[in-house]
Structure 1
């Protein structure tokens, strides 16, 4: 949520998360394959779990990027009102 106190140049890190998720996905797939070939089931399972986490993160990042400026606010998007919960002024 934007409160208006961020710097004007602040940007959402979704594109960085996209790149890091892809990088993690590739390394986890590589690790799963190598450890499975070396008959190390524990390490292969650990890399498989990392692969699943990176894949879920990748799906969420792509979903948020496709949702547009609400998730990637630019300079033309005004700050959102902060959520004050159930308290009313």
Structure 2
């Protein structure tokens, strides 16, 4: 049932986003080291910049997770406000 307030009450999959950023961080570190050892400084710099972006994103994700139910509601908080007048 849709109530029209979904954009305000949408839930974010922060834990999934965190683990995807961990995966990206591992690959960015690997790419930076591998390209640096292979003598490709341009690609190493690109992977290093990606490493920085992923690290900042991970810090923001962890901050939102730690802020609690306001940003990451638990299972006991409904995803939307029930309608005031249910259909007969």
Q: Is the 8 A contact 1:11 1:74 kept in 2?
A: no
Which runs of 5 or more structure 1 residues have no equivalent in the other structure? 81-89
Q: How many residue pairs end up in the alignment?
A: 76
Q: With the length of structure 1 as denominator, give the TM-score of the two structures.
A: 0.73
Give structure 2 stretches of 5+ with no counterpart: 82-88
Alignment RMSD, CA only?
2.5
Higher relative helix content? 2
Question: Greater Rg, structure 1 or structure 2?
Answer: 2
Please, what TM-score do these two structures have when normalized by structure 2? 0.74
Moved over 3 A (4+): 3-6, 75-80
